Amino acid sequence: MDLRYGMNPQQQAADVAPVRPGRWPVRVVQGSPSYINMLDALNSWQLVREVSRSLNRPAAASFKHVSPAGAAVAGPVDDVTAELYGVHQDEVGALTSAYLRARDADPKCAYGDFAAVSHPVDAELAELLTRVVCDGIIAPGYAPGTVGTLGKKNGRFLVMEADPAFVPPERETRDNFGLRLAQQRDEVPLAAALLENVVCGALPTTAADDLLLDLVVLRYTQSNSVCCLRDGVTLGIGAGQQSRVDCTRLAGAKADTWWLRRHPAVRALAFRSDVRRQDRINWQIRFIEGDLTPDESTRLSRALSQPSEELTGGLRADWTARLKGVAFVSDGALPFRDNVDHAHRHGVGYVAEPGGSIRSAEVEDACREHQIVLARTGLRLFHH
């Protein structure tokens, strides 16, 4: 299989060959993938396949630069998401709901994403994909006519099909700077049994499902990473940071933004009809962040058909305090209690982490102080 180019356009076009001759885990149905497209496709497909098998529900992911911008299982589409994407929330099919929920987790970062779904693409999802800025999709199949629908979007929209029966080799290898690294593939099942060691509090089934989804998401997210998730939807993913508390603060800030997008003052922003969806999303987020430059303030005013209500610090604090029941998972041991203190500020009620840090007792004490349920998995999930 030929690739358009390597990691960057200046790197000569690469090719891909199966580790086992003749055994391809994926095939290109339409378009020509780049190196990063291929990495996104392989990682995102593994994520949605594992989520669907673990929770027995359709799953979707919105991937950017080899990490998920969002992931979700099928479920209710709230009125904010429905309005943004022009759908009737009571009429959305299961697979489309999973993708809408995944994409809306971080709609700013999902711009130009690579989509992955656990089940064959149907006509409803194909039609939706023609209306959003998405670069490609991977799925285990396509209903008749859907590839043709996706082909009308543009000539470079990438359509890939995964083989759900493919079993990868037990060992993985990677070449880097003249060295070949090899390791055993991480095949530890991510199942409810990992959450049985609850060291404080009581873990309800719904929260356990969210923590399990969290674990799968982090297995395919660039480390260090943490994830905030509620009701089967990622609210904030902090990925690729050198400090774990920076991951926590990043994920928490994204979760707050997701929640504040549901505030009446944000929903009341009256954009002119000619302002595009992505520009509306970006302006909503800048409005929420509240640190607009003078030039941005002017441009936002021009994008609105009427003046906006101020989102004061008091309104913001009152609204974010209503966010509760968030599940939080870390791919590595929490080294200090500051992660718990920050997580508490963003509505976290359930935490799962490997444990084993020299300060794990302090982490447990912090959970008890904040009345947060803590489960120790004993399993690290670094991904690089």
> Would you name the residues annotated as active-site residues?
64-65, 224, 384
Please, which residues have CB within 8 angstroms of residue 322's CB and are 6 or more apart in sequence? 259
Q: Answer for the pair 344, 329: CB distance below 8 angstroms, yes or no.
A: no
Is the C-alpha dihedral spanning 352, 104, 71, 384 positive or negative?
A: negative
Of 261, 220, 295, the C-alpha closest to 46 is 220
Q: Answer for the pair 217, 234: CB distance below 8 angstroms, yes or no.
A: yes
Q: Quick one: DSSP state of residue 2? A: B
CA–CA dist 231, 98 (Å, integer) = 12
Phi (first) and psi of residue 136, to 5 degrees: 180, 175
Cβ–Cβ contacts within 10 Å for residue 176, how many? 7
The tokens of 180 are what?
């070949």
Of 311, 235, 246, 300, the C-alpha closest to 271 is 300
The tokens of 202 are what?
């009581």
CA–CA dist 217, 211 (Å, integer) = 10
Q: Answer for the pair 30, 147: CB distance below 8 angstroms, yes or no.
A: yes
